[in-house]
Structure 1
């Protein structure tokens, strides 16, 4: 491998480490896991909470709970976008 190729690989490795350190460590250990873009655990919990608020707002005819559930569901739906920006990340 030439020096230019090694430099490019090192730059890619350092960029991956900066962007998603957990993914880079798992790759280095030989136990790869999903990149951050495809880990959606928090999104499912947020959607479940919003759904619970919606159901409670429907069961008890309470408009504020219903509206909060709808807004929460909309906010949780954005968490499923794999190409959204993460706090601390910079786009070039």
Structure 2
């Protein structure tokens, strides 16, 4: 490879390290991890809490729990979109 190609690869590696250090470290060790945009732990946790609130609100005659579960579910669902940070075209 020519020298300019090496500079591009070093620049790309530096950007990857800056954007998602956990993914870059895992890729360097040979055991790749999911990139940040595909990690959905918070989304699943929010959805589990929402379903729990909704079920508790239906089991107990509490409308506030049902409403809180529905609102939290509405907040949690867009977290599953891996491209939510990108502006629409």
Instruction: Provide TM-score, normalisation by structure 1.
Output: 0.86
Cα deviation for residue 65 of structure 1 reads 0.9
Match of 1:35 in 2: 35
Q: Which runs of 4+ in 1 moved over 6 A?
A: none
Q: Indicate whether 1:62 and 2:46 are aligned.
A: no
- 1 or 2, which has the higher helix percentage? 2
Unpaired runs of 5+ residues, structure 2, are: none
Match of 2:46 in 1: 46
Aligned residues: 85
Match of 1:82 in 2: 82
Instruction: Provide TM-score, normalisation by structure 2.
Output: 0.88
Cα deviation for residue 11 of structure 1 reads 1.2
Unpaired runs of 5+ residues, structure 1, are: 86-92
Match of 1:26 in 2: 26
